[in-house]
C-alpha cells in the first residue's frame, strides 16, 4: 500500500515511520538548541533563531553540499560550529561565502 493510503488509514507501519521522522527532527532541533521552540511558528521567533532554524532545516535534508554565508555562521554557537567541522570530516561539503570589508591583500 502506498505511503499516502497507509498514512490516511493510520496503519502501524505508517505511524512508526512518522514517529521515527519526528524523533529525527526533534534531535536536529535539540542539536541546534531550538527544541524549546518546537511548537512555535517559525515567523514568531527572533531573527537570530530564524537563521539558526534555516540552517537546521538545511542540515535535516542531509545535503551533499551546504551553502552558507558569514551571517549564517554567526547564528551558531561554538559547539555547533565544531559539529559542522566534524560533519565536514565525514563528507558533508560546506561552502561559506565571506563578505570582505576591504579587498583582500
Q: What is the pLDDT along the chain (105 residues), one digit of tens a residue?
A: 456 666 666 667 777 888 888 899 998 898 888 999 999 999 999 988 888 888 888 888 888 888 877 777 777 788 777 877 776 677 777 777 766 666 555
Residue 80 · residue 65 · CB < 8 Å: no
Residue 104 included in any domain: no
Residue 80 included in any domain: yes
Element at 94 (helix H, strand E): strand 93-97
Which pLDDT belongs to residue 40? 95
Which pLDDT belongs to residue 91? 72
Residue 26 included in any domain: no
Which pLDDT belongs to residue 61? 84
Which pLDDT belongs to residue 15? 77
Which pLDDT belongs to residue 26? 92
Q: Please give the residue range of the domain that contains residue 81.
A: 32-97
Which pLDDT belongs to residue 54? 87
Query: In total, how many domains does the chain have?
Result: 1
Residue 11 included in any domain: no
3-state helix, strand, coil in the chain (%, to 5): 60, 10, 30
Nearest CA among 60, 41, 45, 76 for reference residue 68: 76
Amino acid at each position: 500500500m502506498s505511503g499516502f493510503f497507509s498514512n490516511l488509514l493510520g496503519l502501524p507501519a505508517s505511524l512508526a515511520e512518522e514517529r521515527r521522522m519526528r524523533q529525527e527532527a526533534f534531535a536536529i532541533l535539540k542539536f541546534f538548541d531550538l527544541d524549546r521552540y518546537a511548537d512555535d511558528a517559525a515567523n514568531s521567533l527572533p531573527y537570530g533563531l530564524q537563521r539558526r532554524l534555516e540552517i537546521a532545516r538545511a542540515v535535516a535534508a542531509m545535503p551533499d553540499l551546504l551553502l552558507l554565508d558569514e551571517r549564517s555562521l554567526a547564528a551558531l554557537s561554538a559547539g555547533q560550529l565544531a559539529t559542522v567541522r566534524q560533519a565536514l570530516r565525514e563528507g558533508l561539503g560546506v561552502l561559506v561565502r565571506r563578505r570582505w570589508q576591504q579587498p583582500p591583500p
